[in-house]
């Protein structure tokens, strides 16, 4: 019922020419059972959009501002993304929360703006190692869901994607076990259900954190994992192809 979404988050990697070369190497990858997506740096969006013409792979950004325009030096407006033809945007990645002071409140503003403008948000949630070890995972995630996803329109939920990314598993080579990931994702859906009811069944919830060709099959075999948000492994052609064709 929920089509898996396998998304690459390139983070701050690839110049425009490197992006074009990479897209040309992956644009013919096709798996009718999976939605494939690349979330590329702002500077590459326009050229990647052109290079993806005719491809099944979709285009996403990694962040956006919550205002349409104004005096926000260095920021990118949702209207600019929409104008390029961006379909998805990552919101509230843990790196943005950690290094750029993003909060559940700014996440909430951005998510609402994304829906208003017609871009599908991929909202990241997840706990630190300290929080997991002190058994605060559920408390942390519940707060991120309640505050970051508050006051959404029910009809928008079908276009919402949540990425569960335990911070301790990002770029560390440590993956949550597939059971840990599945259990936390179930908890996320229950939390969402307590706010929005059955429409929450339509929301796709991905896992992210050291996903690679070697562990994707196991993760995707779990009942509640609807895809993956992948950093490092999405930058290599063979790995990205193996992920889409898990
Ligand atoms: P890695 O796959 O490199 O661990 O990154 C995960 C991530 O942060 C995706 O958004």
90, 92, 95, 100: CA torsion to nearest 10: 120
Give me the pLDDT at residue 172, please: 86
Kindly report the average pLDDT of the chain as a whole number. 97
From the CB of 165, is ligand 1 less than 6 Å away?
yes
Give me the pLDDT at residue 44, please: 98
Return the percentage of the chain with pLDDT > 70, whole number.
100
Encode pLDDT of 145-163 as tens digits: 999 999 999 999 999 999 9
d(CA 29, CA 36): 9
d(CA 96, CA 5): 22
Closest by CA to 195, choosing from 163, 149, 161, is: 149
Give me the pLDDT at residue 173, please: 81
Pocket test for ligand 1, best of 162, 210, 242 (most atoms within 8 A of CB): 210
Residue ID of nearest Cα to ligand 1 atom 2 = 231
Give me the pLDDT at residue 171, please: 85
Encode pLDDT of 77-130 as tens digits: 999 999 999 999 999 999 999 999 999 999 999 999 999 999 999 999 999 999
In ligand 1, the atom with minimum distance to the C-alpha of 211 is 2
Q: Do the beta carbons of residue 121 and residue 107 sit within 8 Å?
A: no
**Ordered DSSP codes for the chain:** -PPPEEEEE--S---HHHHHHHHHHHTT---TTSEEEEE--GGGHHHHHHHTTT-S-EEEES---SSSSSS-TT---HHHHHHHT--EEEES-HHHHHHS---HHHHHHHHHHHHHHT-EEEEEE---HHHHHTT-HHHHHHHHHHHHTTT--GGGGGG-EEEE--GGGSSSSPPPPHHHHHHHHHHHHHHHHHHHGGGGGG-EEEEESS--HHHHHHHHTSTT--EEEESGGGGSHHHHHHHHT-
Give me the pLDDT at residue 175, please: 79
Give me the pLDDT at residue 216, please: 97
Q: Look up tokens 């992948």; give the residue.
A: 230
Encode pLDDT of 115-149 as tens digits: 999 999 999 999 999 999 999 999 999 999 999 99
Encode pLDDT of 28-66 as tens digits: 999 999 999 999 999 999 999 999 999 999 999 999 999
Mean pLDDT for the stretch of residues 195-213: 97
């Amino acid at each position: 019922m929920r089509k898996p979404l396998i998304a690459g988050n390139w983070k701050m990697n690839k110049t425009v020419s490197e992006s074009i070369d990479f897209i040309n190497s992956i644009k013919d990858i096709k798996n009718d059972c999976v939605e494939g997506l690349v979330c590329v740096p702002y500077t590459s969006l326009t050229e990647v959009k052109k290079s993806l013409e005719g491809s099944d792979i979709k285009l996403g950004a990694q962040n956006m501002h919550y205002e349409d325009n104004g005096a926000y030096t260095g920021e990118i407006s949702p209207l600019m993304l929409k104008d390029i033809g961006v379909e998805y945007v990552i919101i509230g990645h843990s790196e943005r929360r950690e290094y750029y002071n993003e909060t559940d409140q700014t996440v909430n503003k951005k998510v609402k703006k994304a829906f208003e403008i017609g871009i599908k948000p991929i909202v990241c949630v997840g706990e630190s190692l300290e929080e997991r070890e002190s058994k605060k995972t559920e408390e942390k995630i519940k707060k991120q869901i309640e505050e970051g996803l508050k006051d959404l329109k029910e009809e928008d939920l079908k276009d919402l994607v949540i990425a569960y990314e335990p911070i301790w598993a990002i770029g560390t080579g440590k993956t949550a076990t597939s059971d840990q990931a599945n259990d936390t994702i179930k908890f996320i859906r229950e939390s969402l259900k307590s706010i929005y009811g059955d429409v929450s069944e339509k929301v796709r919830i991905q896992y992210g954190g050291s996903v690679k060709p070697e562990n994707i099959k196991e993760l995707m075999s779990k009942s509640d994992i609807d895809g993956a948000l992948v950093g490092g492994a999405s930058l290599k052609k063979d790995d990205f192809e193996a992920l889409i064709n898990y």
